Structures are given as C-alpha cells and as structure tokens.
Amino acid sequence: MSMTANTPPVETTNTTTTQPADTSTDRRARPLVTVRDLKVRYTDDAPLVLDGVNLDLYPGETVALLGSSGSGKSTLMKALTGFAPVTSGDVNAAGYDVTQLRQKQLRELRSQVGQVFQQFNLIGRLSVITNVLTGGLHNAGPSNWFGSFRSADRKRALALLERVGIADKANAEARTLSGGQQQRVAIARALMQNPRVILADEPVASLDPRMSKSVLELLRSIAHDEGIPVLISLHVLPLALEHSDRIIGLRHGEIIVSGPTPALDAEQLAGVYALEDEEDE
C-alpha cells in the first residue's frame, strides 16, 4: 500500500470524527510543497535512499519528519531545494518544479526556502545582527555585503531578533551565544529571507532539553503566525509528539506512518524505530 503523507490517520480506536487540533492549518489553501513518488539514489549502483515518498505541506502547519539516523530525512529536505539527485518522481516547492530548474531558478527557489540546521551555521566572528542580515542577501546586490546594509534592512533584522527573543544580543559576536540563542539567530536569519517554507533539519539535536523545547515552540509559532509550512526533522519521538501538528514517520526511505499528531501515539510510531535500526547506531 502506498501511503501519502497527507492521508488521514492510521487506524484509531477513537470513533469520533477527528478534527485537526490546530485550526491555523489551512487545508483549503494549496500546499506549498508537494512530493509524489519520490525516489532518490546517490549513485547508480547504490540502493534507493528514498523509495516512493509522498508529501504535502500546507500553509501554517508544523510537520515533524521522524526517523532514525540514515532513514532519509536530510535527503528528503535536500530534494526540496534541488540538493539531492532525484531518480524519479515529482518535487514541487514554492511553485517551482524542482527537478526541472536551471541554476538561476534554483537560486530563486533557495532564496524562498528558509533553512535551519543542527549546527546553526552562523558566522561566529560576526555580530548577531549581521548574521541575520545575511539572510536577506539573496534579495540584495553583493555591494550590500558587510556594513553597508540598508537601514530598512537593519530595522527589519532587529525586529526579527525581537521576534525570536534575543534583540538584546544584536551586537554580540555570534560565537559568544549559547546554542539555543544561536539557533534563534539562525531562525531570524531564515525569516529575513521572507521564506515561503521553512525546513529545519534536526534543529535541536545539539541542544539540551529545555532549549530544544523553546526552539521547537518558536518554530511552531512562526508557522502559525506567518502562515507558512515548517518541516522539522527529529529523531526523538516525544519531541515530535509534543511540537507538531502532523507527523511523518520515515524508515529506510519509506513513509511507514503518517497522520495528525493528536491521532498518533508512541505505539503507532514504534515501527519507525525497529530493532535493526538501533543496531547500527
């Protein structure tokens, strides 16, 4: 049976009609991302890393991509911005047919997709606000590099730092911040792009539990407030259950479970972590 990330739940014993818990998710709107029967292999003789993946991301929703190490989470995210070799299938993101793009359009697409990574990827010696401003460089000429950002941009960067709760750190060197604070800077930098979609690849894997929680809450509130989809890869089940509207469980490159988070429980998601996976971790 092929399973679409969007198909309503997995069986549940609850017989009442399931309402999505988060009404901010506008399913009448068109999805910002659609993936159909995506297959990816990195080299000709290597096995498929993604095998028939379907995915839709709607405005305003926070979707957890759950899977153990090597299940294909990063590859799926990379495929959305043209960084993974698509063997077959369709990938559409922010209105772009990703498999058909030339370099210029690829750059356009990437400028519209905000990305957040496990290691934050800030420039440590630069100030926090300068790091945020670099998020807007997609839309500016290279002459705006360092120091000569427009004051309107600086204003906006400051407002975004306020949005993520660290405006008081604007002039600090990025490397002096804690991990949780650095991830907030990275989120502000992504927002500086005016993204139509946010992809967060293991954004809390380097953070302690308290910071993980606050960063995931921030991402979800951004999805909700900005009305954009946020896809967050996670390998920790309780975090996915607590901080998403929908969960997609990936195992060996296949979606094996998918549904609204309130309709899923740890038992239904257990298959994502079958024993054989644990052996090689």
> What is the layout of strands, in order, in the sheet containing 96-97?
50-57, 33-40, 86-93, 96-97
Among the listed residues 25, 54, 62, 71, the single contact to ligand ADP using CB under 6 A: 71
> Exactly one of 71, 74, 212, 244 binds Mg ion (CB under 5 A); which one?
74
Residue from 72, 82, 249, 260 binding ligand ADP (CB under 6 A): 72
Q: Does 75 bind ligand ADP (CB under 6 A)?
A: yes
Q: Which stretch binds Mg ion (CB under 5 A): 11-19, 70-78, 210-218, 241-249?
A: 70-78
The number of CA neighbours under 13 Å toward the Cβ of 21 is 15
Residue in the block written with tokens 């920790």: 236
CA-closest candidate to residue 107, choices 77, 74, 123, 83: 83
Which span sits near ligand ADP by CB under 6 A: 68-76, 125-133, 204-212, 268-276? 68-76
Is 70 a binding residue for ligand ADP by CB under 6 A? The answer is yes
Using rule CB under 6 A, residue 134 touches ligand ADP: no
Among 2, 69, 100, 139, binds ligand ADP (CB under 6 A): 69
Q: Which entry of ligand ADP, Mg ion, none binds 42, CB below 5 to 8 A by partner kind?
A: ligand ADP
73 is an interface residue for ligand ADP by CB under 6 A: yes
Residues numbered 182 to 241 that lie near ligand ADP (CB under 6 A) are none
The contact mask relative to ligand ADP for 24-63 (x = CB under 6 A, - = no) is ------------------x------x--------------
* Site for ligand ADP, rule CB under 6 A: 42, 49, 67, 69-75
